[in-house]
Structure 1
């Protein structure tokens, strides 16, 4: 029998049961960590228009108003008589439009834009890696629930068997065919089976809670786990390593991070180059002055107003000579960061290579274990049936039956674990080479396209609403 057939843990799937592909589709749409990563990528996309703003004009509206009042007394009041006075007031209202445009900034803006674009590409690959991890976590928790429920079912069957053995031992003891020792041994195994069942049920509850956290829905009835398509997996370990080194999103993300750091070095070096900017201002000033017409010193003078419109254009060239060593330190710092990013590429390559080798070995071991444990279950069940028959004719004891039943349960639990490991290890290998994606798996789900948001915002000049209307 093929391994795929072995992994079908029942003769037929339960009607309406959740499939592994269905669970992955739900996790792809609902997983909180994955949605957080998508939101983070959308925020990273905005770094591109922010960087482009360095060579875009800035326009400001300025406004200013002022008012003053004065009272002037003429004379020194030495003759104790009423002295002439004058009341006056002045006011001004000023408005202006100012435009600033950077013409040359030492190539900082073009390099900042390139660095931001590389960061977006790196974040997109990181998102692809998060998708892989989410799908693999979904597969793991799905198969954990399947395994733990099977183990609990085996424990429940074992307890039912031991309940029957206790009843049979008491019956034989009552008619003088058994001993009190037989009854005690059966009761001891019955108590142990009860404790093991409770432990198995607790593990089921824990696995179901993890499933809810990853998938977003509580697990109902689950279909048997199935292996990934053969086209998803390489034919040998050398091919697996080669594919992973060329296609794994974690490696591609670190390579884009190197590009971003390289452009950041150039941008920082641009701070040592001249900067040229142009400033234009259009200003309108309205002012008035008012002198009291009844003043004895300035009779007949009333309100005087004027309106002045002016415009000016200026250019500013800044040539850095010495900047306190700050820019030089920033350039050296950026170069060290670039070196760090290059080292990270090598480190990620080694991690991926190790993950591929480990997954390949685990997959081979799991497939071999499924075959071995399946044979063990068959042999242990046959042995149990024989021991029961021999016990019935007095050739074996109750303890022999209990030990044989324990061997069956142990073999069944090992087989359930191996079947789980075979599925998880196969998908782990697919993830290790970078092929665990909704498109390759053929999931029935609306694919999230990060490029759509990036294209929608990368050239925006204004607007507060996000592309989805917020």
Structure 2
């Protein structure tokens, strides 16, 4: 009898700790979820649009190298009137007026070229380019964040589905216990207390099942928000294995080298440095060359049309501009110092995140081993209590308590498995390795440099690269 009970308990334990749920038609993996999120997530697409707008900053900055051309047209109509005085006689009332209408026109075209501006344009262009590189790294950080959110959402649904399944099995078990308690009461072997205890446990189980179903629906809603599609055939994922570090030291070194948040902060330092130089350039002389061509026309009798052309070179030497130039330079230097501090802050945050994720992963993996042993022991204990109740050595309350231990153990195992998955992908994200290449996601990579190359030297055009 003991051998039979042991085999039954082990079988029950194994069925409760299996990692994969039954395969469903059109099932998608955690990698499919990340690929969909990479392609469909609106927040990520908004960041990409913002990067395209940042790309235009380079073309705007380069406009300082280019000529400025303007044209002006002016037309004037003048009504002239004079009285006729024949033979120099004093005019009488009613003497007729000699009227004349004169029309004049002026057309001007002006070309202005900045020859030297204290290297302001040069440094503005370099700052704009650094901003583009920083924004690219920020985009990578957002991509990693969305991939991690998709993986976490997928793991949450897998967890919640298994919790619902566990609680449904718990409901079925408690219904059997209630029916058994009623049967024993009918034949005089049980008590009304046993029936009430079974009813109370069953009612409580219905409540926690309702909560589990509600939590599953909430997780599905988050999944749709991140991935852009309803989950289909979600299976219990295993912890990440691709691109995982060998140890904590390697993880930290990789994160400090590859994390895009750090790279973005470093490019921001470069941009701030160029802004300091640009601000200092306002105190240097500037040279401007301006050429103009104009034509003045008139229809007045004996009038003459005239045309003129001029070219002017102007040397501008700033002496004092109210002190604004000094304040702007000091302000730019303070912002440069701020950006350097933010680099240190980003490094410290990345290191802390990596250490935390690694600790969470180690803790979750250890919990899985302990929880599996707990589930196995709890199922064996439950089987033994049921048999002991049959011979009168245990009560219904003992059975219900044993079943509650099984329920807690199984849900703890499910939670540990979910935590291991999330912690592993969090570790990859903190290292900067959670990318579509490292995870071999079947989705086209967004190439931000294509738009940049198309617009960085563009002189004309109102339409965007995609035709809007």
Give your verdict on TM over 0.5. yes
Given that 2:256 and 2:262 are in contact with CA atoms closer than 8 Å, whether structure 1 keeps it comes out as yes
Separation in 1, partners of 2:24, 2:451: 41
Q: Residue 73 of structure 1: which of 83, 87, 91 is its match?
A: 83
Matched, 1:151 2:188: no
* Superposition deviation, residue 220 in structure 1: 2.1
- Would the alpha carbon gap of residues 60 and 81 (structure 1) be closer, same or farther in structure 2, given more than 3 Å must change? closer
Matched, 1:52 2:62: yes
Question: What is the number of equivalent residue pairs in this alignment?
Answer: 451
Separation in 2, partners of 1:282, 1:428: 66
Q: For the aligned residues, what is the CA RMSD?
A: 1.7
Instruction: Write the deviation string for residues 57-115 of structure 1: whole angstroms up to 9, x where unpaired.
Output: 11112111111112223569988543242101111122222111000000000000001
Matched, 1:207 2:205: no
- Would the alpha carbon gap of residues 288 and 184 (structure 1) be closer, same or farther in structure 2, given more than 3 Å must change? same
Structure 1: 4+ residue segments shifted above 6 A: 75-79
* Superposition deviation, residue 265 in structure 1: 0.1
Matched, 1:416 2:414: yes
Instruction: Write the deviation string for residues 363-409 of structure 1: whole angstroms up to 9, x where unpaired.
Output: 10011111111111111111111111111221111111111111111
SS of 1:166's equivalent? helix
User: Which residue of 2 is the match for residue 453 of structure 1?
Assistant: 451
Matched, 1:269 2:269: no
Given that 1:106 and 1:271 are in contact with CA atoms closer than 8 Å, whether structure 2 keeps it comes out as yes
User: Which residue of 1 is the match for residue 199 of structure 2?
Assistant: 187
The unaligned stretches of length 5 or more in structure 2 are 1-15
Matched, 1:172 2:163: no
The unaligned stretches of length 5 or more in structure 1 are 1-5, 290-302
* Superposition deviation, residue 217 in structure 1: 0.6
- Would the alpha carbon gap of residues 54 and 11 (structure 1) be closer, same or farther in structure 2, given more than 3 Å must change? closer
- How high is the TM-score relative to the length of structure 1? 0.93
Separation in 2, partners of 1:72, 1:162: 117
- Would the alpha carbon gap of residues 206 and 148 (structure 1) be closer, same or farther in structure 2, given more than 3 Å must change? same
Given that 1:41 and 1:120 are in contact with CA atoms closer than 8 Å, whether structure 2 keeps it comes out as yes
SS of 1:158's equivalent? helix
Q: Residue 127 of structure 2: which of 104, 108, 115 is its match?
A: 115
280-289 vs 364-373, which moves further: 280-289
81-90 vs 143-152, which moves further: 81-90
Alignment of 1:325-344 (within 5 A): 325-344=323-342
Separation in 1, partners of 2:333, 2:18: 56
Separation in 2, partners of 1:352, 1:11: 35
Separation in 1, partners of 2:312, 2:17: 78
- How high is the TM-score relative to the length of structure 2? 0.93
* Superposition deviation, residue 122 in structure 1: 0.5
SS of 2:438's equivalent? helix
* Superposition deviation, residue 172 in structure 1: 1.1
* Superposition deviation, residue 117 in structure 1: 0.5
165-174 vs 443-452, which moves further: 165-174
